[in-house]
Structure 1
Amino acid sequence: MINFDEEIKNYEPSLEIEEAESAIYSHDLTDVTDIIAQLLREQDKRQGELR
């Protein structure tokens, strides 16, 4: 029978997962709210130019 507590003690995450995690967290990714905010700023700028 598998002793889960013992298996957890021996667990080591693979390097690939750690490398992927650091790559993901080190990049400043643009999300939907950033895109919407940029579009609104551009729209405000264009409307200001028309006035």
Structure 2
Amino acid sequence: MIDFEEELKKFEPSMEVEEAEEEIQKRDLTDMTDILRQMTEQKRGR
């Protein structure tokens, strides 16, 4: 049987995951708040 507690102690995250996380955090991603802000600014500009 698998000892999950022991397996969790051995766990080490993949370097690829850590690198991907850094890249994702560096990117300037547009979310719904940004889109709504742009729409509001465009509406006011008219």
Q: Shorter chain as normaliser: what TM range?
A: 0.7 to 0.9
- Taking the aligned partners of 2:35 and 2:10, their CA distance within structure 1 comes to 44
Structure 2: any 5+ residue segments left out of the alignment?
A: none
Structure 2: which amino acid aligns with 1:28?
Answer: D
**What residue in structure 1 maps to residue 23 of structure 2?**
23
Alignment RMSD? 1.1
- Taking the aligned partners of 2:3 and 2:42, their CA distance within structure 1 comes to 59
TM-score (norm 2): 0.81
Percent identity (aligned) = 52
Structure 1: any 5+ residue segments left out of the alignment?
A: 47-51
Tell me which structure has the larger Cα radius of gyration.
Answer: 1
Report the count of equivalent residues: 46
